[in-house]
Structure formats: structure tokens, C-alpha cells
Amino acid sequence: MNEWVTRFRQSLGGYEGTKVYLADWIAGEILPRCKPGYILDVCSGLGSVSYRMKLENRPVVSIDTQLYPYYSCMAVIENGTVRLAKDAVDWLLTGNANAYDDFHQKTFEGKYLPQFLLKAIDRIRYNIRYADAKEWTSLSTRAIALVALGRAILSAKAHSNFSTSKPATRLRNETEFFDLFRGLVEKINALVFSNGQENRAYFADGPTAVKDTARWKAPVAALYCDPPYVTSRSNPHYWATYWFIEGMVTDWYDVRSGNQSLEEFRVRHDVTTKDEVVRLLEDLVNAAAHIPLIAISYDAIGEPKPDDIADILQETGRNTSIVSRAHVRHKIPSGEVLIVGMGKATRPVEPTPEPQPSLAKRVIQTLQERELEESIERELKNALSLYEQGDTEALEEAAKHAGIRV
Ligand SMILES: C[S@@+](CC[C@H](N)C(=O)[O-])C[C@H]1O[C@@H](n2cnc3c(N)ncnc32)[C@H](O)[C@@H]1O
């Protein structure tokens, strides 16, 4: 295995759907076909493909709608020079000894993580937030610290997944967590390098950000996209897996400011169905008419089928082909495809009609937009948290009571 893959994996870890093991293959398929200019990595996740392209000295733009991925790409893609020094880490772990607030300890008591970890998170998170006055603070140092903390929390949580609320961990005490954090900062620091280009990380919706690049003076050579994969066996649930980390990196802004209750925050929407993947790809392809090469990763047995994705590219007048290779996913032998469209688009794709929003999304909208009786509001919020644990019936019942179409 390539040395960079090991270093990337050990520092930023196993993000759901990561392409770290496939990035050499993906780069080998894209780079020989593309001219000089920016490579856009849409749905970048933690940035493994961006990093691989950066190693090739290409200018790279990483785009994702989640903030934890954004901070990861800020730390190791956009940032090419700044590292988080040992003194700064010492201060993050020991500063403000009695000042930090107890949001995590109070809000999640008895759930998700043991109390000693919630306390450690409160402290580090508070110090990252209030390090503004320190001479070493910058967006890059903050990004390195937040990503190291996010990764430490995911490593500490059993199965690295916040869809289960059991407070299980393999760590014994706060010191072990602090050591984990220190080690991760060191490893993330070691990923930082400059390739002499102006690389960028965006926290943005893919199609919107891509459309914007049509106005750039610098040429965009290729658009690579790695959307959430839907198959008949599985639906991706990035938010359900990572909501705790997303809350932590935003300091729970939406929850603390009362914009959303914790229940609503926990069931925010993702791209989780075939129709939503199709819609995302159609919007993206239409936004990228000015880009001469589009490459889309997908599961060989995914829904939509690779041929259907190729049809979307073909419809715009691009010369389209599919390359594939074997891949092991979740320890099961599987196949990975790359759908490549060459040449600028000569016409747009006719978008399929907007998919019906999921029931959970409609319930959240109702909670935000309608004045409800207190008991109905309580029932809906309760049902949303049961839904998150896999109980759809309660949500349907509660929605019927509230007069929401099921
Ligand atoms: C399969 S993962 C990407 C993994 C990534 N290639 C890596 O190697 O880590 C899919 C990503 O798509 C992002 N995503 C979903 N909808 C998006 C959108 N409309 N625009 C940009 N990113 C989006 C999710 O937040 C998630 O990080």
C-alpha cells in the first residue's frame, strides 16, 4: 500500500465511503485524460481524493455539505503551511481549567459517551473556541484541532457511529483521550504540505459551488464526484452517523440558539435515496457544462445503476465510458465503477421531478413552521427520536395525529 494511504488512514481515519484505498486508481483514470487546471472534488468527505490530486501538484477544490469534512479539507488541502504546535495543544488540554461550560456533560448525560469523555470534550472544544486571543490561532490551526477532536471522539465511541446512544468506549480515562488527541494532532500535522498551488476547501452544496466556477479566470480541468451510495442493501446516513461530530464542530449553534431542538438536529436530512442521488447528479452535471471532464464514482450494484448515471452524462452530449474494478466494501467483495464523460456539454439534462421529501423531513418542517399544541409537538419530537433508532411506525402515527400527510 502506498505510504500516503497509511498516513491518511491513520490520521483522519475511516470516514464512511472513503476512497482512500481507491484514490490511486481514480487519479490514474482521471489525470491522463485531463488538461492543466483545477480539479474539483465534490462530495469530498475528508478529502482523500483531493489529497491524492494535491500530491500530483494539481490545484484542488474540495466541496462538501458537512462541516467536519470541510474542516478536514481546510486542515490538509487548503492549508499548506500551518501546523498546530505542541505548546498550543498543551494549552487546549489544560487552559481555562475552571471556566469551560458543561454543554456535552449536561446534554448527553448517560448517553452516547461516558461522562469523563463528555467532560474532556467540553474542555477541549471550549478552548478551541476561545483560543482567539492566542497568537497561533488561525482558521488552519482551528481546523486541525477540530478534526483531531472529531476523530478522537469517533475512535472513542464504539463502532464510530452516533446512531446508537449506548455510552460504550474502549478508553479508560481522560488521560487516554488526551493522549489520543495529541497523537492525532501530530499525525494531521504530518499530512500538511504545500504543492505550490492555491487549493481551496468549501462548505457548500456541490452544484451551487460548481456553477460558480464558470466565472473563474483560472481553468477548471475536471470535476470528480463521489456521491453517497445507495444500493438495494443499504442507504447512506451520513447525518445519522456523524451528527454528534457536526454538532461539536459548530459548537451546537443551531441547538444552543434555539433554531432547532436536539431531536430535530439529530434527524436532519441527507441524500439517502436513489431519486435523491439522481437529482444531485443531474444538478451537478448541469452546473458543470463548462468543465471538459466529469468523473463520478459509484457502487457497481448501486441504485441508480452505473448505466443510468452514464445516460445522464450522455444526455448532455458528452462522450461517456465506464471503467470498473473489484473492491472489498465492509469486508464483502464488491465492485467499484468510475463513470467518465469527456468534452463540454452541448445541452442540459432534463431534471427529473423533485422527489417527495421524506416523512422525517416533513415533520421537521412542520415543527419549524407551524404553531402546534404542546402535546402534539411533544409527540412529534418523541417520535423523531424513536425514528432515529429505527422505529418508523411511531413517526407515522404521530404525523397522522398532527395532520401531516403520511
Ligand atoms: C461517499 S462520501 C465521500 C467520501 C470521500 N470521497 C472520501 O474519500 O472521504 C459522500 C459525501 O457527500 C457529501 N454530500 C452529500 N450531499 C452533498 C451535496 N449536495 N454537495 C456536496 N457534498 C454532499 C456528504 O456530506 C459526504 O461527505
Q: What is the pLDDT along the chain (406 residues), one digit of tens a residue?
A: 689 999 999 999 888 889 999 999 999 999 999 999 999 999 999 999 999 999 999 999 999 999 999 999 999 999 999 999 999 999 999 987 777 889 999 999 999 999 999 999 999 999 998 877 788 999 999 999 999 999 999 999 888 888 888 888 889 999 999 999 999 999 999 999 999 999 999 999 999 999 999 999 999 999 999 999 998 877 788 888 899 999 999 999 999 999 889 988 988 877 878 989 999 999 999 999 999 999 999 999 999 999 999 999 999 999 999 999 988 877 777 899 999 999 988 999 988 876 666 788 888 888 877 888 888 888 998 888 888 777 778 888 988 888 887 7
335 and 282 housed in the same domain: yes
How many whole angstroms from 99 Cα to the centroid of ligand 1? 36
Residue 403 DSSP SS3: coil
C-alpha cell at 226: 463521489
Is 228 within 8 Å of 43 (Cβ atoms)? yes
* DSSP track, 315-375: HTT-EEEEEEEEEEETTEEEEEEEEEEES--SS---PPPPPPPPHHHHHHHHHHHS---HH
Distance CA 31, CA 264 (A): 42
65 lines ligand 1 (CB under 6 A): yes
Q: For Cα atoms 246, 247, 253, give the angle at the middle one, nearest 5 degrees.
A: 125
Q: How far is the CA of 45 from the centre of ligand 1 (A)?
A: 5
Evaluate whether residue 347 is within a structural domain. no
* Pocket flag, ligand 1, residue 48 (CB < 6 Å): yes
Residue 348 lies inside a defined structural domain of this protein = no
Which residues are within 8 A (CB) of 373 and not within 5 positions of it... i.e. 6 or more apart?
A: none
Q: Measure 67 CA to ligand 1 centroid, in angstroms.
A: 11
Both 157 and 110 in one domain: the answer is yes
- CB-ligand 1 contact for 76 (6 Å cutoff): no
**Torsion angles phi and psi, residue 242, rounded to 5:** -110, 5
Q: How far is the CA of 238 from the centre of ligand 1 (A)?
A: 9
Instruction: Let me know whether 178 and 200 are in one domain.
Output: no
CA distance 344 to 324: 23
Domain that holds residue 130: 86-191
Looking at 342, 366, 392, which one is the last position of a domain? 342
The CATH number for 336's domain is 3.40.50.150
Q: Specify whether 255 is located in the same domain as 125.
A: no
Check pocket membership of 30 for ligand 1, CB cut-off 6 A.
Answer: no
Is the C-beta atom of 302 inside 6 A of ligand 1? Answer: no
| Residue whose C-alpha is closest to residue 266's, from 287, 245, 283, 282 | 245
The CB of 201 under 6 Å from ligand 1? The reply is no
- Between the CA of 351 and the centroid of ligand 1 the distance, in Å, is 21
The number of distinct structural domains making up the chain is 3
Tell me if 13 CB under 6 Å of ligand 1.
no
64 lines ligand 1 (CB under 6 A): yes
Instruction: Read off the pTM.
Output: 0.89
Cell numbers found for residue 10: 491513520
Domain boundary residue among 304, 320, 342? 342
Give the C-alpha separation, 220 to 39, whole Å: 6
- The verdict on residue 242 lying in a domain is yes
Whole-number Å distance between alpha carbons of 92 and 226: 34
Tell whether 155 and 94 lie within a shared domain.
yes
Q: Judge whether 125 lies within some domain.
A: yes
Judge whether 243 and 266 are in contact, CB under 8 Å: yes
Residue 280 beta carbon below 6 angstroms from any ligand 1 atom: yes
Contacts of 391 by beta carbon, 8 Å cutoff, 6+ apart: 383
